[in-house]
Amino acid sequence: MSDKYQQRRFDIYGYEKIDTEVLEAIPYEYPEKNTVVEYITEEFSSVCPWTGLPDTAKLTIRYIPHQKLVELKSLKYYLTSYRNVGILQEHAVNRILDDLVKLLEPKFMEVIGEFHERGGISTKVVARYEK
């Protein structure tokens, strides 16, 4: 039986398909305040680097903006670009943090991925940046 499934391995894209260039910042009008901004989606998805089977997660991006906000539609396209990329859950969360810190230069940022269970085990990853 396993032969059948091995022939059917799904396409797995490499890291180069992560579309950091689509990301766009917009000016923030209250840079002197310590405002906390949070984006939440229940629909983040990438694939397992070994089997190509999807990993799905609730993703939370929390930050204190300095002079820039991320444009929401560009964020959606950026996150959607992970959809067929093979990447470990722990690494995906850290990569998103790094890309957004580079774009926004915030005072603080935290990215949280809560991945649906695999083999009866679910995984939560919390990566953090402080200036």
Which residues of this chain interact with a second copy, rule CB under 8 A? 1, 4-5, 8, 10, 19, 22, 24, 28-30, 33-43, 45, 53-54, 56, 65, 69, 72-73, 75-77, 80, 83-84, 88, 90-91, 93-94, 116-128
110 CB contacts (<8 Å, ≥6 apart)? 60, 61, 62, 63, 97, 126, 127, 128, 129
Whole-angstrom CA distances from 43 to 56, 60, 95 are 7, 11, 17
Q: Which is nearer to a second copy, 45 or 100 (CB)?
A: 45
Whole-angstrom CA distances from 34 to 14, 40, 46, 86, 106 are 37, 20, 32, 36, 10
By rule CB under 5 A, what count of residues binds Ca ion? 5
Letters for 41-80 (x = contact with Ca ion by CB under 5 A, - = none) are -------------------------------x--------
117 annotated to bind ligand: no
70 annotated to bind ligand: yes
CA distance 63 to 37: 5
Catalytic residue among 3, 11, 19, 48: 48
CB neighbours (10 Å) of residue 129?
A: 16
Q: Which residues are annotated as a binding site?
A: 70-72, 89-90
Contact residues toward Ca ion (CB under 5 A) are 72, 88-89, 116-117
Q: Which residues are catalytic?
A: 48, 55
